[in-house]
Amino acid sequence: MKIAIDAGHGYETPGKRSVDGMKEYEFNCAVANEMKKLLVKYEGVTVLFTHSDQRDVPLNERTTKANKEKVDVFISIHANAHGIGNQWTSAEGIETYVYTTKPKTATRLAQMVQNELISSTKRKDRGVKTANFHVLKATSMTAILCECGFMTNKEEAALLQSSSYRLTCAKAIVDAIVKYYQLTKTKSTISSSLYKVQVGAFSNKQSADALAKELIAKGYDTFIVK
């Protein structure tokens, strides 16, 4: 299956900043990159990015690309904000959006993603909501948008800037996708799992035998070369 990951906005998008200066795209693209690393480990999965590190890709261009490539699911990654943007507020938590018509498949996926995010991050559960966002309206496939925390909340802004929280969010979203679509991990290929144990590299054959047994126990295809 094809999965489109959309890191919202761009590095220079006006106003998309935390109070202490983190650009929202820094969080969005980091999560997107971690998601790709995880997703490509599954059978038959290809990942398409609709964003760019060089420019803020227009929304219409993002959805057109996803539609043209006939992707199966579209995941847009964001960080939230509340208030005028230059002062801390108390708004907090995570929410996941689907289009206003509440498409059945998108709503089910959104709920699974929301549940995984809350379980993994322990942040406030703001629920699954509907919105007329362009990336939800103009996409022809299942599409959801995740708001992974508030840049205007001092505690969550610190989390959004940490690599551990970014990885946690990425893994939670991927885990939900894997469960929903029942994806299967790619099996190790012979080229990556086949080990040759050279007897001459050891003081005796018993040492080579021991290493071979250890590798076999770990699931590697192993043979001894005398």
Positions marked catalytic: 147
Phi, psi of 157, rounded to the nearest 5 degrees: -60, -40
DSSP 3-state helix, strand, coil percentages of the chain (rounded to 5)? 40, 25, 35
Name 46's bridge partners. 2
Reference 5, options 151, 169, 203, 182; nearest CA is 169
Q: How many CB atoms lie within 10 A of CB 188?
A: 12
Q: Which residues contact 171 (CB under 8 A, 6 or more apart)?
A: 34, 38, 120
Task: Report the alpha-carbon distance of residue 38 to residue 42 in Å, rounded.
Answer: 8
Q: Does residue 116 contact residue 176 with C-beta atoms inside 8 Å?
A: yes
Q: Is the dihedral of CA 95, 160, 28, 177 positive or negative?
A: negative
